[in-house]
Each structure stands twice: as C-alpha cells, then as structure tokens.
C-alpha cells in the first residue's frame, strides 16, 4: 500500500493504492470504507472492477486518525490504520 497525504487543518485526503491480486473473481465488486473521528462511511460501494485494470489509486478523505478497509466481493482483504 502506498499512501500520500495532502494536508492542512481539518480534513485531509489520503491516496491508497489497492492491488487487485487478492481478488478471487474477475470481475469482482470493490468496496472501500473509512472510519475516523467523523464516523464511518463508504467511499466505494460494490463497484465492479476487472483484475487486469488494477492496481487502483483511491482517494479517501478523513479527520484525525482512522482505519481504511478494502473488501473484494464482501470479503475484507486489507485494513490500514491512517492519520489524516
């Protein structure tokens, strides 16, 4: 996972690279969620992806410290603790 932070006061945006190597199906459904000081929300919800199109850079906005979770077809494949 490569992380880049664009900061300032308040919320910040983090870019994470999501490799598609762990996808069991092709195509598969991608879901990305973030939990932080502002609550839990879904950044990407069950969007179809093709393994050949990966990896993908996903921009996640958040506040304070949090956790980003990535799911392929409803199965958790990545958890990353971050500071926004």
Q: What is the pLDDT of residues 6-28, one digit of tens each?
A: 555 578 999 999 999 999 999 99
| Residues 31-46, mean pLDDT to the nearest whole number | 96
pLDDT for the residue 42: 97
Bridge partners of 53? none
pLDDT for the residue 2: 58
Chain mean pLDDT for the chain: 91
Residue 5 predicted with pLDDT over 70: no
Residue with tokens 């850079």: 57
pLDDT for the residue 4: 55
* Closest by Cα among 27, 26, 37, 44 to 65: 37
């Amino acid at each position: 996972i490569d992380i880049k932070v664009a900061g300032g006061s308040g919320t910040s945006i983090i870019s994470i690279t999501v490799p598609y190597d762990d996808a069991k199906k092709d195509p598969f459904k991608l879901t990305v969620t973030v939990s932080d000081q502002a609550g839990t929300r879904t950044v990407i919800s069950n969007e179809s992806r093709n393994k050949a199109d990966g990896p993908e850079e996903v921009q996640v906005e958040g506040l304070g410290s949090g956790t980003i979770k990535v799911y392929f077809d409803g199965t958790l494949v990545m958890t990353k603790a971050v500071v926004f």
